[in-house]
Amino acid sequence: VSPARVRVRRARPADAAAIHALVADYAEQGLLLPRTEDEIRAHADHFLVATQRKKLLGCVALKPYGAALAEIRSLAVAPEARGNGLGARLLRFALAKARRSGFARVFAVTHAAEFFAQQGFTITRRHLIPEKIARDCHGCPKERTCKLIALVATVNSQRHPLTVLEECATIT
């Protein structure tokens, strides 16, 4: 992998199979929530992908929760491409997409809290993101033992989501 040759672009429905394979490997290790290929294809417009010579090396999705809040999810870099700055680059592109789309804040619920903190996110309490808990956590077999950490970042400081969130860092 040569980082300079890696291109980040919006995903197309035709990328769904490769995105699914990448996410499924990490989901099996318990690092990401599983997504079906159909779900990914139907929401391909939520995803950005990193490719080199047509090979998928990474992905990230931005899922809206109303008009002001979005979730960064399914952030994954292929094992052979990790440690080259690609995860940070995908996250920066996703934050730029969030800013352009007019969201006020983004959040992530993740095992890689240090990674997100290093990129400017602030750790928050999960109950401050009730929409996420209602959608993905209720009924999950790991609900009580879950070790995932929630983090938030402001991308448009002039806008405020309806959800009450603690003050958090602004990423410019």
Ligand X SMILES: CC(C)(COP(=O)(O)OP(=O)(O)OC[C@H]1O[C@@H](n2cnc3c(N)ncnc32)[C@H](O)[C@@H]1OP(=O)(O)O)[C@@H](O)C(=O)NCCC(=O)NCCS
Q: Which of 45, 57, 75, 76 is nearest to 5 (CA)?
A: 57
State the minimum distance, in angstroms, from the CB of residue 87 to ligand X.
Answer: 2
**All residues at 6 or more sequence positions from 2 whose CB lies less than 8 Å from its CB, including other chains:** 52
- Which residue's CB is nearer to ligand X, number 114 or number 159? 114
Instruction: Give least dist CB 154 to ligand X, A.
Output: 19
Minimum CB separation of residue 163 from ligand X in Å reads 20
Q: Which residue is nearest to ligand X (CB)?
A: 87
By residue count, the chain amounts to: 172
Helices (H), the chain: 16-28, 37-42, 86-100, 113-118, 130-132
Nearer to ligand X, 68 or 84 (CB): 84
Query: CB 135 → ligand X: shortest distance, Å?
Result: 16
Residue 161 neighbours by CB distance under 10 Å: 22
The C-alpha atoms of residue 104 and residue 96 are separated, in whole angstroms, by 12
Residues that bind ligand X (CB under 6 A): 26, 31-32, 75-77, 82-88, 108, 110-112, 114-115, 118
Between 39 and 157, whose beta carbon lies closer to ligand X?
A: 39
Nearer CB in complex with ligand X: 26/47: 26
